[in-house]
Amino acid sequence: MEAVQQQLKRRKRQKRKLEEEDAASAAESEAGGEGGGEEICCQRSRQALAREVRAKVQVLERTFSWRFADRAAAKRATHILAELAKDEKVVNVIVEEGAVPALVKHLQEPPPLLGSEGSANEGERPFEHEVEKGSAFALGLLAVKVSAVPEHQQLIVDAGALPLLVDLLKRHKKGFNCQVVNSVIRRAADAITNLAHENSNIKTSVRIEGGIPPLVELLKSTDAKVQRAAAGALRTLSFKNYSNKNQIVDCNALPTLILMLQSEDAAIHYEAMHIVQRGAVRPLIEMLQSPYIQLQAMSVFALGRLAQHCCS
């Protein structure tokens, strides 16, 4: 009788053990299934994102004209790509799907319409400056999000972005002076800043492409946002680049920078201070010997601000 009871107990223990093993196995399978589901979901999400980006790239590739429908579609495509580029996780997908050359293409105006269509729409320039602004904004975001990957910055430059961005800095010279023009200039300056960030080769390329003189000129802009963007670009370009520092001074930037040091706008003051620190101390000291009292006074003020900043 006792032997029978012990046998029953052993069977119960074995049964419990088997049930526990089955439960553990089921839990592992369920967990594995959930993980696999997440991976599949992630893959599908990436595929959907790639399709969306590819669709916008195709829109940009076929809408390089002044037709209203083309300009409207291109404007929307650049806007969507810029919004997507704000997410660092999406940047690689945007680059891989060929968005860079398509965006660079739209940094410039499309050619005039030809034939009867051109005559019918003569003088019409729908969404003027806005498509270029959207392209510059998107490229600037791509550049800053991948600043740790210089080959992506170089990809944008190799696609021909720099001369087109420099041209955008000069839009106000064509007689345009409105908010949208200031916006496109600001986006171009920001894009140059992000492309040149911690990239000595691109800093040099910006100088070679003639980007420094228009940026210095924009320091005099009455639009504070443009002024800040231009100063930010010059600050980046002057960092650890002796030739760029010299050209900024040679372009007579000092008087404007000194005026900016008196600005109540903290951001403008900050940018001007760092440009002066990086390349204008010696020229300021030389200005003390100027026969013009006003220049001497400006130099004293700027050097005083620098000393104050260094001691704070």
Residue 117 lies in a domain: no
Rounded distance, CA 124 to CA 144, Å? 35
pLDDT per residue over 18-68, tens digit each? Answer: 455 555 544 444 444 444 555 555 666 889 999 999 999 999 999 999 999
Domain-ending residue, one of 209, 231, 255: 209
Calculate what percentage of the chain has a pLDDT beyond 70.
Answer: 69
82 and 186 in a single domain? The answer is yes
Counted residue by residue, the chain has a size of 312
92 and 159 in a single domain? The answer is yes
Give the pLDDT score at 304.
66
Residue 229 lies in a domain: yes
Rounded distance, CA 163 to CA 69, Å? 27
Is the CA virtual torsion 176, 268, 277, 238 positive or negative? negative
249 and 104 in a single domain? The answer is no
Rounded distance, CA 267 to CA 10, Å? 80
52 and 107 in a single domain? The answer is yes
87 and 200 in a single domain? The answer is yes
Residue 18 lies in a domain: no
pTM of the model: 0.77
Between 259 and 245, the higher pLDDT residue: 245
Rounded distance, CA 257 to CA 111, Å? 38
Average pLDDT of the segment spanning 12-18: 55
How confident is the prediction for the chain on average, in pLDDT?
A: 82
Average pLDDT of the segment spanning 5-30: 53
Under the banding of pLDDT at 50, 70 and 90, the label for residue 7 is low
202 and 91 in a single domain? The answer is yes
Domain-ending residue, one of 209, 225, 242: 209
pLDDT per residue over 136-163, tens digit each? Answer: 999 999 998 554 466 789 999 999 999 9
Q: Is the pLDDT of residue 309 over 70?
A: no
Give the pLDDT score at 101.
98
63 and 156 in a single domain? The answer is yes
Rounded distance, CA 272 to CA 231, Å? 6
Calculate what percentage of the chain has a pLDDT beyond 90.
Answer: 52
168 and 307 in a single domain? The answer is no
Average pLDDT of the segment spanning 169-191: 88
60 token code pair:
């940009």
Residue 2 lies in a domain: no
Rounded distance, CA 238 to CA 263, Å? 21
The domain in which residue 143 lies consists of: 43-111+129-209
54 and 166 in a single domain? The answer is yes
Residue 136 lies in a domain: yes
201 and 102 in a single domain? The answer is yes
Could you give the number of structural domains in the chain? 2
Q: Is the pLDDT of residue 255 over 70?
A: yes
Give the pLDDT score at 28.
45
66 and 76 in a single domain? The answer is yes
Q: Is the pLDDT of residue 210 over 80?
A: yes
Residue 137 lies in a domain: yes
Under the banding of pLDDT at 50, 70 and 90, the label for residue 187 is very high
Average pLDDT of the segment spanning 59-81: 97
Rounded distance, CA 266 to CA 92, Å? 35
Q: Is the pLDDT of residue 135 over 80?
A: yes
67 and 152 in a single domain? The answer is yes
Rounded distance, CA 143 to CA 191, Å? 7
Q: Is the pLDDT of residue 117 over 70?
A: no
Residue 173 lies in a domain: yes
Under the banding of pLDDT at 50, 70 and 90, the label for residue 173 is confident
Give the pLDDT score at 249.
85
**Do 207 and 166 form a contact (C-beta atoms < 8 A)?**
no
Q: Report which residue type is found at 208.
A: I
- The CATH number of whichever domain residue 97 belongs to comes to 1.25.10.10
Domain-ending residue, one of 173, 193, 209: 209
Between 290 and 73, the higher pLDDT residue: 73
Give the pLDDT score at 116.
53
Residue 29 lies in a domain: no
Give the pLDDT score at 231.
93
Under the banding of pLDDT at 50, 70 and 90, the label for residue 236 is very high
Give the pLDDT score at 148.
47
Q: Report which residue type is found at 24.
A: A
Rounded distance, CA 154 to CA 159, Å? 8
Q: Is the pLDDT of residue 78 over 60?
A: yes
34 token code pair:
């959930």
